[in-house]
Structure formats: C-alpha cells, structure tokens
Amino acid sequence: MSNYELMVIFTPVLSEEDFKAAQKKFVDIIKDNGGQIVHENPWGLRSLAYPIQKKTTGMYVVVEYSAPTDLNEKLKIQLNRDENVLRYMVTSIDKYAAEYNAKKRGALNAESKTTEA
C-alpha cells in the first residue's frame, strides 16, 4: 500500500452539514475500497488564488491516507462526478514525507496540550 494525500476544494455555498457529509462521502470511498485514513484536516472556507466557476472562495479539506494504487482511479471518477467539487489533487507521498507529517502532527498535538494546561 502506498501513501497519498488528497486535497479537495468544495463549492463555498455548502452548509456545514453538507460540507461534513461530502467530506465523509470521500473518506468512506477510501475505506470501502481497502484504504486506511491516516489523518483528516478540514481547513474550512479559504480564498482561492484565482476564480473557479465564478467563485473566489472554497471549502478545503485535506485527507492523508494509505491505499492500493487502483483505488485512486475509483476515487477520481467519484470526484469528477460530484458537482460540489471545484478542484481536487491527489499526491503520492513518499515515506519521508509521511514521517514528516506524523512528526508535525505530534508536535502540534503536544503544543496544544501545553497551551491548555
């Protein structure tokens, strides 16, 4: 199994519930096809670098997962079919990037625990 990172930009007109449902839909596709979710990070509403379909903002979500390589084609088909998706990008992550992301998440978790205390 290889490591991947999926970034999806959804249309900004989605409500919070619709955004979570759309996010869950793609996470479920990954899980149902033999993938494992490593980390899920919803960024929320952000400005776009350039207008897409006359929209200047989008709802971002980043999902890091490990899965067999044939899963990506199934995932891309579903992403292309969904009318709420403005753009998406699937990136293959090597083992060093996966280790870096894990360390970064660990440092952020430790940092948030120290500020809470």
Amino acid sitting at position 95: K
What is the pTM for the complete model shown?
A: 0.82
Residue whose token pair is 């670098």 = 49
pLDDT-derived band at 105 (thresholds 50, 70, 90) equals confident
pLDDT tens profile 13-49? 988 899 999 999 999 999 998 889 988 989 989 999 9
If residue 81 lies in a helix (H) or strand (E), which one and from where to where? helix 71-81
Give the whole-angstrom CA distance, residue 59 versus residue 85: 9
Going from the N-terminus, what domains does the chain have, and what CATH number goes with each? 2-116 (3.30.70.60)
